[in-house]
Amino acid sequence: MSQRMNHLAVAPGGAKALGTVYGYVSQSGLPKTLIDMVYLRVSHINGCAYCIDSHTRDLLKESVPVEKVTLVPTWQEGGAFFDERERAALAWAETVTRVADTHVPDDAYAIARAVFSEKELADLTIAIGLMNAYNRLAISFRQTPVSVARLAV
């Protein structure tokens, strides 16, 4: 499958705006590995090969064990691999990403709010929204995953 368009080149202002939000999330105080796990889970839900490839690589570079990275899609069965905050973040990522179906119920909010401050939860939700936007761009315009592009060389 070939890329339909280079949306970064066609809409550099939009790309820059999303990059600013990405920078905000990176500086939010949330742990990088937590953010990257959330980005990976959102990308799994949306089926974004480009972002799954990218965030898997990020987590491995951060020395997250491959077994943990592999279990992100089934984190509920990951036992001790995932701590309370990671489980809450991944559950929140799922319900927010599937907002049309879930409507983000009160019990999901209560679970997330029990382990995240208001600011942390707002920042986490911004990160989830951002990754959903990135996924939609990458999927819509068929952005080629880095690992696939390397095979073509």
In a domain? residue 132: yes
**Rounded Cα gap, residues 34 and 87, in angstroms:** 10
pLDDT digits (tens, 9 = 90+) for 73-121: 999 999 999 999 999 999 999 999 999 999 999 999 999 999 999 999 9
CATH of the domain at 16: 1.20.1290.10
Please state the domain count of the chain.
1
| CA separation, residue 40 to residues 11, 53, 56, 130 (Å) | 25, 9, 7, 12
In a domain? residue 1: no
pLDDT at residue 152 greater than cutoff 80: no
